[in-house]
Amino acid sequence: MTEQIATAPAHDGPAGRGRVRPEGASPTRAALTLGALGVVFGDIGTSPIYTLQTLFSPDDPHPVPLTEANLLGLLSLIFWSATIVVTGLYVGVVLHADNHGEGGIMSLITLVGRRGRDGRRLPPTVVRRLALAGIAGAALFLADSMITPAISVLSAVEGVTVVDPALGDFVVPAVLVIVVALFVVQRFGTAKVGAAFGPVMVLWFLVIGLGGLSRVVAEPGVLRALSPTYAIGFFVEQPGTAFFALAAVVLVITGAEALYADLGHFGRAPITRAWLFLVYPACMLSYYGQGALVIGDLSPDGPITAPFFRVVPGWALVPLVVLATLATVIASQAVITGAFSVVRQAVQLGYLPRLRIVHTSAHTIGQVYVPYVNYGLMVAVVLLVLSFRSSAALAFAYGMAVTCTVLVTIVLTSVVAVHRWGRPRPLVLAGGGFVGLVMLGFLAANLTKLAHGAWVPLVIGLLLFTVMTTWFRGRLLVTKRRHEQEGPLDDVLHDACDPGSPLVRVPGTAVYLNRATKGEPTAPLALRSTVEHLHALHERVLVVSLTTALSPWVVDEEIGTVTVPEGSDGSVVLVTLHFGYRQRTDVPAALARALAAADLDVDLDEASWFLSTIDVSRSPGHHRPGELPRWRRAVFTATSHLTTDAARSFELPKDRTVVMGARIEV
């Protein structure tokens, strides 16, 4: 296997003040809001299907007794949890922590590493620890991406048991068919399907909102639970029951992180409008409508099953099951797309090997498909469905990943607020501390479900975190060893430009891809091998270094830096190309733009491209200080097998690309 390393992740490139946008007219405010409804809110918008049912589930090891007082207390907890965490934290604060318009936990990692309002940076040790916390959050988000499709589709298809209980045996097979089909079609992209997402979700929110409203009108007393006194009274009168109930109440905010992760696709204003004017009211009406239904049918035999589906009249039940299935598929699609985006950013920042990333749209840069991730998620979702077999059982595992991710977001956003925005530290500590205490309560309650499935996202997140941090450390070691083998670039250039050099200059242009390094540049291994073994060099040589900027996009005007080294006769040119961590690394196109901006006439259509490859193997020796332990060496070398072909990744011409390299042990 080979590990081809030609980029310098998280290199200090240009700031990337602009964004690369698809050609054509900018989307209207209405179009952006509609798009946000179709992509951003699928997860949080389908939570009403299973949240209230989970709270009173007989399968819960700590079930809530069904009384009117308990129900009102839970509805109050649901309302204020959504208000504090989603509206207050995410919409009110986190959406403002954008990295040149982009959101997501990777953006927070880059923001904490930048200069603050006072022009100073945080200490490197602090930045490293915060970055590790961010990577842990990203790993938990990927774990959440496995659970969301399973619980969402299960909860929707389970609605058929309300139509006919005998159909219960067909729920799991039907879910497996839907899930497998969902992942199989990912390779075709979501451009065409995505156009229908918005209208379907608008219909979904109108239906659940109006359905809940009809029940609230019939039982208006349920609106008493809007007062926080009912939530407080629930904790005062039944602290144990209220505490254990938090493990299910947290399901109300699952999907909140999507508001921030998809910030770059739609912008702050459309996401805020969609949440405040449709999603938030519709979800709350659905919860309170279910509560009104249950209050009107209290019985000593326990709660009625599937309150979400029983809110609507009998004639609307089958259409609602169909609509719920569509909505949950959309929710799953949004999470899968988010997972692709997170993995892509992790690759660009150096926390994962260079995976094969397919761009599924010629117009939308952020629309990508990652085969390894897609089928890995599919296998995980299938195993989760077969293991838990019901949404109620899987709900015990769902809240843990979300809770931990939100806690990481609170910490990083608080640092950004003080360091970057200059907000008063006491104010930030008070606000962040309050929301943090709320989330710690959710976390503590979820810890009581460890034996019932809450361990699943923690184990998945830990495994992903280990792989990502191991790859990052291993990549640094490989880079150090490679640096030793390459030697200074000046030595090779001196031989190439010396008139008395025995090197033969052959016609044509050669492009050597190189690593971007701080300090004295090194020679690409392919260039050194060409000089030492062939004793020849092309008449025109371009040494191209690739960097990943700490911003999602780099505008065309800043994408390349062209220099001619001292003592050169102009036949050797050094080029540094800067890519944002969300941009396509189309090296030929970027190089052509950089050369044109520097007024250099170079024919790239006939140029030969040279890649330096590294064959990574595990060292048989014992662990030495500063190196990876033996088990981590095994993880690193195993992960490197996933690396895709560099020529494909950098979009180099296949018929004019030459690969040369060396072996390095870790």
Spatial distance between the Cα atoms of 408 and 135, rounded to a whole number of angstroms: 9
- 558 pLDDT above the threshold of 60: yes
| pLDDT value for 450 | 87
Here the tokens at position 384 are 């989760």
Mean pLDDT of 82-105: 90
- 5 pLDDT above the threshold of 50: no
Q: Would you say the C-alpha torsion 267, 270, 276, 280 has a positive or negative sign?
A: negative
Here the tokens at position 506 are 């052959």
350 and 491 within one domain = no
267 and 338 within one domain = yes
User: Considering the chain, what percentage of its residues have pLDDT values greater than 90?
Assistant: 32
Residue 294 domain-assigned?
A: yes
DSSP string, 567-606: T--SSEEEEEEEE-TTS---HHHHHHHHHHHTT----GGG
Residue 6 domain-assigned?
A: no
Q: What are phi and psi of 380, to 5 degrees?
A: -65, -45
Summarize pLDDT for 374-405 with one digit per residue, the tens: 899 999 999 999 998 888 788 878 888 889 99
- 193 pLDDT above the threshold of 60: no
213 and 66 within one domain = yes
451 and 498 within one domain = no
Q: Would you say the C-alpha torsion 497, 499, 503, 506 has a positive or negative sign?
A: positive
- 14 pLDDT above the threshold of 90: no
347 and 236 within one domain = yes
- 520 pLDDT above the threshold of 90: no
Region of residue 662 (left: phi > 0; alpha: psi -120 to 50; beta: else)? beta
- 360 pLDDT above the threshold of 70: no
| pLDDT value for 304 | 64
Spatial distance between the Cα atoms of 93 and 421, rounded to a whole number of angstroms: 12
- 63 pLDDT above the threshold of 80: no
Residue 406 domain-assigned?
A: yes
Summarize pLDDT for 294-349 with one digit per residue, the tens: 887 765 555 567 889 989 888 898 999 999 998 888 888 777 877 887 888 788 78
Summarize pLDDT for 466-500 with one digit per residue, the tens: 999 999 988 888 877 777 777 777 777 776 666 66
| pLDDT value for 367 | 60
| pLDDT value for 231 | 95
Q: Would you say the C-alpha torsion 484, 487, 488, 489 has a positive or negative sign?
A: negative
410 and 513 within one domain = no
Residue 9 domain-assigned?
A: no
* Chosen domain end from 441, 472, 503: 472
| pLDDT value for 21 | 41
DSSP string, 386-432: HHH-SHHHHHHHHHHHHHHHHHHHHHHHHHHHHHTS---HHHHHHHH
* Chosen domain end from 472, 497, 517: 472
Q: Which CATH number does the domain housing residue 268 bear?
A: 1.20.1740.10
- Counting the structural domains of the chain, the total is 2
339 and 300 within one domain = yes
| pLDDT value for 622 | 57
Asked if residues 327 and 201 have their Cβ atoms less than 8 Å apart, the reply is yes
| pLDDT value for 10 | 46
Residue 13 domain-assigned?
A: no
335 and 453 within one domain = yes
- How far is residue 284 CA from its own chain's centroid? 27
Name the pLDDT band for 85 (thresholds 50, 70, 90).
Answer: very high
Residue 18 domain-assigned?
A: no
Location of structure tokens 């054509």: 24
Q: What is the pTM of this model?
A: 0.80
- What three-state secondary structure class fits 111? helix
Summarize pLDDT for 242-264 with one digit per residue, the tens: 999 998 899 999 888 888 887 87
397 and 363 within one domain = yes
Better-scored residue on pLDDT, 639 or 435 = 435
Better-scored residue on pLDDT, 567 or 197 = 197
Asked if residues 649 and 356 have their Cβ atoms less than 8 Å apart, the reply is yes
Buried b (16+ CB within 10 A) or exposed e, 298-317: eeeeebbebbbbbbbeeeeb
| pLDDT value for 444 | 94
Residue 436 domain-assigned?
A: yes
316 and 171 within one domain = yes
Residue 481 domain-assigned?
A: no
* Mean pLDDT taken over the chain: 83
Asked if residues 158 and 170 have their Cβ atoms less than 8 Å apart, the reply is no
Q: Would you say the C-alpha torsion 11, 14, 16, 22 has a positive or negative sign?
A: negative
233 and 128 within one domain = yes
Mean pLDDT of 611-621: 70
Spatial distance between the Cα atoms of 298 and 275, rounded to a whole number of angstroms: 32
Of the candidate ranges 31-45, 130-144, 354-368, 584-598, the one whose mean pLDDT is the lowest: 354-368
Q: For residue 440, which amino acid is it?
A: L
| pLDDT value for 31 | 78
Location of structure tokens 């479900």: 449
458 and 512 within one domain = no
Could you tell me the residue range of the domain that residue 616 belongs to?
Answer: 487-665
- 13 pLDDT above the threshold of 70: no
* Chosen domain end from 445, 472, 499: 472
Name the pLDDT band for 222 (thresholds 50, 70, 90).
Answer: very high
Number of helices and strands in the chain (H, E): 26, 9
